[in-house]
A = this chain, B = another copy of it.
């Protein structure tokens, strides 16, 4: 199984997703600031993967803070603040940081050495739970795909975007495990090309047929009847079912609806943010336009022409046919169904 995040011997090893598929390079990080930089620079991306990475970043940090309390608590809180703002849209980052902060809060009398061990346990538990959640949601979602289906996906919501197995690609993998024949059409997903670089790489390793298209082609293929279902991941889901995901997802959702094709979102409940009523409250990260203008080392537009780079968009809930979580498949109205999914997690 592809596992992009490995923590061992007090070192966080991250598969450098900027280099894939040309090179499989691993970065070895020992300092929490390196982890913040790695998240910001897209060494690792994908909401669940960012969450687990941040948790290990805090483990690394805990080993370097003042060793007495309450000084440790103060330092840890400051580090958590810096970690949380590394990227704003994926709620899993803040969610993971809050879980780590809770460990500290729950052990007010513990020695720092014991606290470090508890933090490492918590990060490991999150990593294991993420893979389990993906397997569970994958198997829930697999029932939605017919044998022989062609599934279009946008960005990479695969093993590389999670602790392993994937969300949208987890649904595909689970369907294949059930013996269904599934073909994938991968939007290349400019500007970072997660689809062409990462989704294609993952699926090739799993021998699942994949065809890459530019983001501008999905509508045409849907219009021609070449797509049976769309499955994407999510970076944050509001209480009403509005979905923040990689820029371009909204266009895919509108085109799917226009062409009568089901549009599914696959995400663990850690991606659901019940504190936000609607997607309008989700912060959309604006990245540097240079990342749009320069591909490889080549500038595409003339020097001096600016670019915009909103990194995510909001797909309104009414365009989402189902949200696939580890506790079940939610359908609209999402205000009640998503809450039920989250409660089921807490209960189980």
Contacts and interface: CB of A to CB of B under 8 A. Distances in A.
A57 to B, nearest CB: 29
Interface stretch (A36-44, A123-131, A162-170, A189-197): A189-197
A101 to B, nearest CB: 33
Nearest to A209: B306
A300 B213 CA distance: 12
Interface stretch (A74-82, A232-240, A244-252, A339-347): A244-252
Contacts of A201: 301-302
A21 B301 CA distance: 7
A214 to B, nearest CB: 4
A197 B300 contact: yes
A156 to B, nearest CB: 12
A308 interface: yes
A254 interface: yes
User: How many identical chains are in the complex?
Assistant: 2
Contacts of A296: 295-296, 298
A235 to B, nearest CB: 14
Nearest to A251: B219
B219 A305 contact: no
A277 interface: no
A146 interface: no
A214 B200 contact: no
Given A301-B196, A302-B201, A212 B307 contact: yes
Contact of A250 (B190, B193, B220, B309): B220
B217 A308 contact: yes
B310 A211 contact: no
Contacts of A122: none
A119 B156 CA distance: 54
Contact of A212 (B204, B214, B306): B306
A304 interface: yes
A313 interface: yes
Given A254-B258, A295-B296, A301-B196, A211 B248 contact: no
A255 interface: yes
A247 B200 contact: no
A190 B219 contact: no
A65 interface: no
Contacts of A254: 219, 254-255, 258
A23 to B, nearest CB: 11
A326 interface: no
Instruction: List 5 A-B pairs, minimum CB-CB distance, nearest first.
Output: A216-B248, A219-B251, A220-B313, A190-B214, A21-B302
